[in-house]
Amino acid sequence: MTLRELELFYALSDDPHISYLAQKIGMSQSAISLAIKSLEHKLGEPLFDRIGKKLVLSERGRFFKSKTYHHFQALKDGQNIFAKDKLSGLLKIASSKTIGNFIMPQIIFDFLSKHQDCSIQNTIANSTDIIRMVQEGSIDMGVIESACDQSTIIKEKFGSDELIVVSSDKALSSQPYYIDQLFDKKWILREPGSGTREIFLKHIEAVAGDLRIFMQYKDSQEIKTLLLQNREAITCVSRHLVEKELYHGTLFEVAIKNLSFQRDFFIIYHKNKYQSSIVEMFKHSVSTYQVGA
């Protein structure tokens, strides 16, 4: 089997549309099909099920991929060992909402500016989903805002963040409150699985049972829109999310007595995943980025 055959197999296992792959790499569909059939012939088993005009990765195909992909990455690194400045490849990552919207875009921009033969596929999801994707091996790494204690996952801290309570009611910013003094407000929080929600509820766990969550949303932008339109609404969000509104005086920080909502940012990846050159270089870019700079 050849590296080219394997390359095509891994590409189709992620996206089984031969026409799209052919257009992307400038290769004919028939040539791609022949390469896959050649690989299957050498292995003695089909790696894809042919259902109509669609290719669907078979059980044996999934097994083959799980056992060979990190070795393939090592071989690709070996090909490039004398051309380290020409880093290339596709990196699949997932970022939780705050990091993905406010921090990761600049990191990706800087990385791709230095390594123009690389491409990065970044998915925005909540922390729970990202941890699951890392465990499944569907992404190379995740960047999250919450705790992760799974034994199969390695986590590396790279920054921190501050969560604050905010409202569009300016009167609430005139004095500090104990958190339970604000429980009569209409609290709007992120959905279960969100790092922001988990950190907030963990910090108020002594009284969290008395908090009535009025609404919950997957998108922080929707929460911000509701706050701007309803003075009785209140939430806890990253300061990054509301910096402009705080500056322009459309949202106001509500000081909380005896509580500080701090959280750490983590890079996470599977402990058994091969750390290719592109993975190592991107991890370095994330870990050295000055959050808040």
Confidence at residue 293, expressed as pLDDT on a 0 to 100 scale: 46
Residues 165, 256, single domain; the answer is: yes
CATH number at residue 64: 1.10.10.10
Q: In sequence order, what are the residues at sequence separation of 6 or more whose Cβ sits closer than 8 angstroms to the Cβ of residue 258?
A: 178
Buried b (16+ CB within 10 A) or exposed e, 56-95: ebbeebeebbeeebeebbeebbeebeeeeeebebebbbbb
Taking each helix axis from N to C end, the angle separating 29-43 and 3-14, rounded to the nearest 10 degrees, works out to 110
Q: What is the pLDDT of residues 162-198, one digit of tens each?
A: 899 999 999 999 999 999 999 999 999 999 988 889 8
Boundary-marking domain end, from 33, 55, 79: 79
Cα–Cα distance for residue pair 24/194, rounded to 1 Å: 35
Name residue, tokens 């005009």: 53
Last residue of a domain, one of 26, 54, 79: 79
Q: CA–CA distance from 4 to each of 12, 24, 70, 76 (Å)?
A: 12, 15, 15, 10
Answer yes or no: is pLDDT of 218 > 60. Answer: yes
140 part of a folded domain: no
Give the predicted TM-score (pTM) of the model. 0.62
Between 245 and 278, the higher pLDDT residue: 245
Query: Residue 293 domain-assigned?
Result: no
Q: Judge whether residue 12 has pLDDT over 90.
A: no
> At 19, which helix (H) or strand (E)?
helix 18-25
At residue 258's C-alpha, the angle toward residues 253 and 263, to 5°, is 70
Which CATH number do you get for residue 253?
A: 3.40.190.290
Three-state DSSP class for residue 95: strand
Phi, psi of 143 (to 5 degrees): -130, 115
Q: What domain range is 1 assigned to?
A: 1-79
Domain boundary residue among 79, 106, 133?
79
Q: How many domains does the chain fold into?
A: 2
**Is the distance from CB of 46 to CB of 56 less than 8 angstroms?**
no
Q: Is the pLDDT of residue 46 over 60?
A: yes
- Output the 3-class SS for 213-259: EEEEECCHHHHHHHHHHCCCEEEEEEHHHHHHHHHHCCCEEECECCC
Say if 278 falls within a structural domain: no
In a domain, 65, yes or no: yes
Confidence of residue 257 (pLDDT cuts 50, 70, 90): very high
Residue 32 inside a domain? The answer is yes
The answer, yes or no, to whether residue 73 has pLDDT greater than 50, is: yes
Do 269 and 249 form a contact (C-beta atoms < 8 A)?
no
In the chain, the percentage of residues whose pLDDT exceeds 70 is 95
> CB–CB of 273/142 below 8 Å?
no
Q: How confident is the model at residue 161 (pLDDT cuts 50, 70, 90)?
A: confident
Of 182, 288, 195, nearest to 233 by C-alpha is: 182
Tell me, yes or no, whether 118 lies in a domain.
no
Q: Are 135 and 124 in contact (CB under 8 A)?
A: no
Q: What is the average per-residue pLDDT within 13-39?
A: 82
pLDDT bin (cut points 50, 70, 90) of residue 20 is confident
Q: Is residue 105 part of a domain?
A: no
More confident residue, 116 or 187: 187
Backbone angles phi and psi of 292, in degrees to 5: 85, -5
| Average pLDDT of the chain to the nearest whole number | 88
287 assigned to some structural domain: no
Interval 277-293: pLDDT, tens? 888 899 999 988 876 54
